[in-house]
Amino acid sequence: MVKIAIVELEGHVECLYSFLNFLQIHDDEVHVFTSQKIFKELNPAADVSFHFHILDRGQSKAAFLNRNISRLNSCDAIFFNSLQKDPHLYPFSEIKAPKFLRIHNMNTFFNRSASISLDWSPYALWKDFSYFLREYIIQRQTAFFDRFIAETDFIMLPDTHYEKFLVKMSDFPSEKIFNGVPMASYKTRLNLDEKDCFNIVITGTIDERRKDYLFAFECIKKVLTLTNQKIDLCLLGAPKGPYGNKVIQAFKSLDASNFQFTFFEQRIDQQTFEKYVFQADLLYAPIKIETRYKFFKEVYGKTKISGSWTDMIRYGKLLCLPDAYPLADGFHEFCLTYNNLESNVSAILELMNDQALLKLKSNALKTFLENNYSNSRLYTSFRRQLEQSIGNLQKAD
């Protein structure tokens, strides 16, 4: 048995959920340090065998972590599931136990100067300037990020194939990369009953920086003219700003008897999210390969993982996305890819019009995930790598 601490104070609930999901089937002593908001979203997924330490309302991250320093240092390993906001509040120098830091945005940590990307609209420029002044001048975020990397024993990347992109952009030593904690794990679920419609789900906040929803609108509009089959489309994320509302209005304007549209105006809780994803025949991800985090460029599939990709793994659903997104080994047959509107329409129609193909691919994906991303398989790999990593640190000391 090992004693593990997981720190998640920033809101990556789905990543924490997956981490706990494959830990709960074993007898490790797991301490989770998180906020009330995240804890509520985890339930009922939060297993009672975990020890939760909750940030009080109004308490700073610094005070919360300092209060728990002795408890953190009593652990065999501490995993920072996210650490991108308020880095100056994390007492890294006081934490002596082995530290593992997950990197969500690789350019932001390792390639800042070459990755600055500005949006020249007045509103975006003001936001970028405010962020730069507050977090890079006043809070000296760059210095803290660099210090964290220097003081972290191991970093965790989105997936194993991201390592080659890190090697290209920096001289970070490969022996300090820990790939034992995946962004998502698969738990076998029963197949849903057959339906009389084809369910398409687009997950995530309706944000023009992440996905091209208006491209998706043109695609769905075209598909509806070429089929009589009923399509149920769900935008499973809250709209962000005028763009989000524009997207919703566009889809609402589709006047077709074989089209049903579901959308939400507020943030979606985990139970509602899973209800609609479980019904999906296809996850549709019209990803913009180049995106921004704050004012740094990130590249989906290379320096940043898409939430749609982890949804495919977590829920065992086929995924449609641009062919410019680099696919991990083994996933090519489970992803519908496109490079323009016509190829996207054709890919969706082919799957819609061939129920046997849909069933064959869906079952093959679930078998692949059971063999490669099941909780038991991931835990075995995690424990082996963890013991080896801690052993190497002890030898170095």
Q: Check which CATH number belongs to the domain holding 357 and give it.
A: 3.40.50.2000
**220 vs 88 pLDDT, higher one:** 220
User: Do 160 and 261 lie in a common domain?
Assistant: no
Residues 101-130, mean pLDDT to the nearest whole number: 79
In a domain, 88, yes or no: yes
- Rounded to whole angstroms, how far apart are CA atoms 28 and 30? 6
Radius of gyration of the chain (CA): 22
Q: What is residue 72's predicted lDDT score, i.e. its pLDDT?
A: 96
Indicate whether 45 pLDDT > 70: no
The Cα–Cα gap between 243 and 62 comes to 36
Same domain, yes or no: 24 and 77: yes
Does residue 248 have a pLDDT over 90? Answer: yes
3-state secondary structure of 77: strand
Q: Does 292 share its domain with 171?
A: no
Domain that holds residue 177: 3-185+375-396
Q: Is residue 170 included in any domain, yes or no?
A: yes
18-27, 284-293, 299-308: the lowest-pLDDT one: 18-27
Judgement on whether residues 357 and 380 belong to the same structural domain of the protein = no
Confidence at residue 191, expressed as pLDDT on a 0 to 100 scale: 57
Q: Residue with structure tokens 């090992």? A: 2
| Pair (37, 151) in one structural domain | yes
Number of domains in the chain: 2
Any residues with CB less than 8 A from the CB of 89 and at least 6 apart, and which? 60, 61, 62, 65
Residue type, position 370, single letter = E
Q: Are residues 176 and 206 in the same domain?
A: no
Question: Is pLDDT at 193 greater than 70 in this prediction?
Answer: no
What distance in Å separates the CA atoms of residue 281 and residue 261, rounded to the nearest whole number? 15
200 close to 229: Cβ distance less than 8 angstroms: no
**Is the model's pLDDT at 192 over the cut of 70?**
no
203: Cβ contacts below 8 Å, ≥ 6 apart: 236, 237, 273, 277, 283, 285, 307, 308, 311
53, 146: one domain: yes
Judge whether 193 lies within some domain.
Answer: no
Q: Which region among 110-119, 128-137, 241-250, 329-338 has the lowest average model confidence (pLDDT)?
A: 128-137
Same domain assignment for residues 100 and 243: no
pLDDT of residue 175: 86
pLDDT recorded at residue 209 = 85
Q: Say yes or no: 151 and 273 in one domain.
A: no
Work out the pLDDT band at 205, boundaries 50, 70, 90: very high
pLDDT mean across residues, the chain: 88
Tell me the C-alpha distance between 172 and 156, whole Å.
12
- pLDDT at residue 346 in the model: 97
pLDDT band at 233 (very low <50, low <70, confident <90, very high): very high
In a domain, 314, yes or no: yes
What pLDDT, on the 0 to 100 scale, is given for residue 81? 92
Domain assignment of residue 350, yes or no: yes
Nearest to 290 by CA among 216, 211, 214, 219: 211
Question: Mean pLDDT, to the nearest integer, of 160-188?
Answer: 83
Judgement on whether residues 146 and 163 belong to the same structural domain of the protein: yes
Average pLDDT rounded to a whole number, residues 13-33: 87
- The answer to whether residues 156 and 69 belong to one domain is yes
**Domain identity same for 22 and 83:** yes
Local confidence band at 47 (pLDDT 50, 70, 90 cut-offs): low
Q: Within a domain: residue 192?
A: no
Range 181-185 average pLDDT: 87
| Assigned domain for 249 exists | yes
Report the alpha-carbon distance of residue 18 to residue 252 in Å, rounded.
34
| pLDDT on residue 99 | 94
Contact present, 100 and 7 (Cβ < 8 Å):
no
Percentage of residues in the chain with pLDDT exceeding 70? 94
**pLDDT at 315 (0 to 100):** 94
pLDDT value at 44 more than 60: no
pTM here is: 0.88
What does DSSP say about strands 198-203 and 282-284: parallel, antiparallel, or unpaired? Answer: parallel
Assigned domain for 190 exists: no
SS3 287: strand
